[in-house]
Structure 1
Amino acid sequence: MTVYDYTVQKPNREDVKMEAFKGKPMLIVNTASKCGLAPQFEGLQKLHETYGDKGLQVLGFPCDQFNNQEFDDIEKTTEHCQINYGVSFPMFAKIKVNGKETHPLFDYLKNQQKGLLSKEIKWNFTKFLVDKEGNVVKRYAPTTPPDKIEEDIKSLL
């Protein structure tokens, strides 16, 4: 299996098959608009602007599991990200990344690249780097700034 075997939803609940991103490296991130790490949206947007035309897909998945740091209304989430951080990369419907209701994509990502002590996601802005073939090649801690991932991204382009 690869990430291409999963389906996610746009904020309007329209299904998107991950195979739509086939042949492109991806940086998949669980995000939260009200998190202290939210300024990372700027760095993620910069990666999108710098490497998007070379194929990189930055994909944001809002999550409310860590101290309820996401808006209840997904429209507020997307508007907040656009207005405050200039986000133009794809954002998806709010999901769960841990527990019984974990989205299948994130279950897969966590099983492919475990964290330091366990596979569970510890906080917002955990990042997964996926190669052009859909393989999860690296996992980054929430505190890893997007610019520190740049060399790894370049190696996949």
Structure 2
Amino acid sequence: MPLHGRAGDAGVCRGIRGGLHPGRCRVRDCHWLRGRVRVRLTVQHVDGLRFLATVDEHAVVVDAAPEDGGGGSAPSAPRLFAAALGACILEFVANSCRLHGIPFECLSLELNCEELERPRRVGEVRALLCIEPEPDEATKRRLLGVARHATLVNTLVRPPEIAIQFA
């Protein structure tokens, strides 16, 4: 689905627990549609190449890697993107296990991806699922099918229209 935006009110950059960046700045409200639900997402500059992303009542600090001029104090945006992809896949698998009564004591995922140049982007992504106790082959095939239809996997397979503009 396309990314939609609308001009927001001027806001105060409060940062985490009221202190990373106390200055005033314009905040643009960004929304994406999920059915009929709108989710507000804002990203604000903190300092250097560090940013505060806020969605609902949750905040995440993002910082560029030192080799890219950042401080490395938090995950970089591409690594956070990969983490979100891995978590989305695992959420779908865990929920499918719950819905179908597939027991597990341990469920994990290792995601390997490479960052490519010219243009800079995430290249090949490989996910390795681990579930204990190990299910039979038919169940593994079904769970792989579920994993391949996770929201962020679907988003990458069918890229959204992205509109970027000034407020």
Q: Indicate whether the TM-score tops 0.5.
A: no
TM-score bracket for this pair, using the shorter chain length: under 0.3
TM-score by length of 1: 0.20
Report which structure shows greater RCO (CA 8 Å, sep ≥6): 1
Of Structure 1 and Structure 2, the greater helix share is in 1
- Higher-Rg member (1/2): 2
TM-score by length of 2: 0.19
